[in-house]
Structures are given as structure tokens and as C-alpha cells.
A and B are shown apart, each in its own frame.
Chain A
């Protein structure tokens, strides 16, 4: 017997799929209906048995390499060449950096070029995952304190909505083993990652560059390094940099 509960409602309840209002409605019903309570217990027992009793088969360790090897474009890339550069950032940024290093080989910035590569890798990584922002706020007064205690420098957090670059949020990231602040600004449907960290241990090459279709603009000021990365056009990114610098270092 299912009372007059719609079919599937109890299952959805037991599976935690109901919104709060419906959940409370079902709970109110359950308190007066032993039959439905029993049904929910059964559903939960079944769910729990599957969750605990069935194995989740893990991919064999060699599968990732096999997959990578089978992809035409990725095939020539050798991961081992850069492994010692980025022990923590993982193979993805290592891969990006290797490829990008190839492009940059003619430049003479040496070590510091890595920073641009990493900034680009980090930018694409942040877009791919849902972790673009650890603190989502359009309010500079929320974003700024969020960084306090997490890093030992204060990235200038300014709101640029009036310039068409609303502040979206911020997060911590890592470039070349250093923890950096990443401020995220929006531009229509695109994002700008602005990486900020102390310049004491070296600075990236200053100026505007294009890497793999992404625009990069970096500078150093007041003891801090800044790298802005985005898929928007360089002229727009330059506009962003100008607006940011005007406000952050008046």
C-alpha cells in the first residue's frame, strides 16, 4: 500500500532528491504512516547495501598513459622532461608548460618564462574545473579579508565593475612552488585570472604576450608581481590592466 503518495516520491525522498519543502511534506506524512515509513526503511536499506556492498572498480594504473598515448595530438609529449619542475601541479600543467615551453624556446627570459606558462596552465585549469573561485563575491570587502591569514601579502582587491570588469571572486593558486593569490574578474562571459604574489623571489617578463591564443599581460609594482591571463582580446586585457593599475596603485 502506498497511501496517496505519488509514485516515486518516497524513493526520491529516500535518495535525498527532494527539495526542502517536499522533504518536509514527506516527513510530515511519514510521522503518521507506518506503511510508508517501512517503505522508506526498505529503500534506505537497499541503497545502503549497494553503496557498501558493491565494488567501485578503479582504472588500472597504466590506463591513463594508454589513453594519452592514443590521442593523436598529445602523443609526442613526453611528461618526464618536466616532472621535476612541477611536482605538485601535476602532469596537466606540466604538459601545458612543456608544450608552451617549446613555443617560447626562442625567448631569453630563462626561468621566469615558466611563470607565464604556469599562469596560462593555471588559467585554463581554473576554467575547466568548477574551482574557478574559492570565494565567490562581487564585493571587494569580502574577497580581501578572505585572503588574510592564508597568504603573507595583501593583493590589492579593487572593484572594476564601473570599467566593465566586475570582480567575481578569488582563490589561492600555485605558480612555481609559490602560493599566489588569484583574483577573478569577469568580462561579459569570459574570465580574467589575475595572479598576484611578492616579487622578492623574481619576476616574470613584463609586458603583453599571446600564448596559445590566450592573452597574457604582466607587470611588477610595489613589490608584487602581477600576471593577467584571459581569452579576451589583448586590447581589452590592456584596458583591464590599466583600470586595475589606476585603482590599485593610484
Chain B
């Protein structure tokens, strides 16, 4: 009974109260991971259905990290199915690396606004994911650790490396922009 879908009216109501308000967060994450409106919508719907079936395991409190964990799992399995569209990205191989020195980051003073989303597109999924969770969704390290099921230390190193990667992509894009402009 514990792991099943809500079997009472109150359970269904509780489910919707706990999780439906987070649909923007769910959609935003899915949209960034899938990079496509319809795929994102499918994933979110699928995630809600799975969340419903597993609602017995929800321990109350903030529903957002619980839901986002499911959303990302759905998205990743979808991405794995469509692997021909997205080559496997070895971002995790770097996971063992220590946190990069803060001084390595030299954020470009003036970033052309339109370049930022472009640079995000070029990042490995996991880098994009952590930047979106932290930067767009405003999740704290602890919440990200719950969503991604990794230790807080790994959140810190992954975030630092994702920022560095984004910076490099931005630099490359702005150089291209410059050479095109000439």
C-alpha cells in the first residue's frame, strides 16, 4: 500500500496540492533538458503519472525536489532512447575531478544576451541541468543534491565545472561573432 498510488479522495487531493503547483518548475527543467516544447510536455505528463503511482513514497514537505527528481529521470531515459539525436556526453567522467579553482572563472564582462542561450545549448545535458536548477530555478545546493541524488560536494564541483564550460562556450561564440562581424 505504501508504494502505491493514492487510493482515497484525500490522497488524490493531497497529490494535486503537493505537486501540481510545481508544474512550471517541472516544465522548465524538462524544457531545458529536452530542448523541445512537445518533448518537454510529454515528459512532464509522464513524470506526473509516475509521481502519482509512487505518491505513497512521498514523505511530505516541499514537493518540488521530489517531483523534479522524477522529471529528470523521465527526461534522461527519453534522451537515452533518442541517443542518435544526442551523443552520450562524458560529462560525468569528469565527476571525480576536484572543484576547479575559483580563479579559473573569468566571466566575460559584457556578454551579448543572445549568446547565453546559445552557449547553454552547446553544454552537456548535466551541465545545462545544474545551471538551470541553480540559476533559473533558484534551487539551493541542498535541494539540487536531493534532485540529482548526489552529495552536496558533487553539486559544488559540478556547478563550478558547468560554469567554466559555459564561460568557454561563450568565449568561443563571441569570437565567432567578432570574426563574422569583420
Contacts and interface: CB of A to CB of B under 8 A. Distances in A.
Interface of A: 1-2, 5, 7-8, 10-12, 15, 17, 35-36, 38-40, 42-43, 45-47, 49-51, 53-60, 63-64, 66-68, 70-74, 92, 95-96, 99-100, 120-121, 124-125, 127-130, 212-214
B27 A36 contact: no
Most chain A CB within 10 A, of B18, B20, B137, B153, is at: B20
B168 interface: no
Given A58-B28, A59-B44, A71-B52, A45 B156 contact: no
A86 B82 CA distance: 45
Contacts of B166: 46
A53 B137 CA distance: 13
- Residue from A17, A45, A54, A70 whose CB has the most chain B CB atoms within 10 Å: A54
B146 interface: no
27 contacts: A8-B156, A11-B102, A11-B160, A12-B141, A15-B141, A36-B102, A39-B105, A43-B102, A50-B131, A51-B138, A53-B116, A54-B117, A55-B136, A56-B28, A57-B28, A67-B20, A67-B44, A70-B48, A71-B48, A73-B6, A73-B7, A73-B11, A92-B17, A99-B9, A124-B10, A124-B13, A125-B17
B150 interface: no
Contacts of B32: 57
B42 to A, nearest CB: 10
Closest 6 CB pairs of A and B: A50-B135, A59-B27, A39-B102, A10-B102, A7-B99, A57-B31
Chain B residues touching A, majority SS? helix
Interface of B: 5-18, 20, 23-24, 26-28, 31-32, 37, 40-41, 44-45, 48-49, 52, 60-63, 98-103, 105-107, 109, 111, 113, 116-117, 120, 131-132, 134-138, 140-141, 153, 156-157, 159-160, 163, 166-167
A35 B105 CA distance: 12
Nearest to A74: B12
Nearest to A47: B135
B105 A7 contact: no
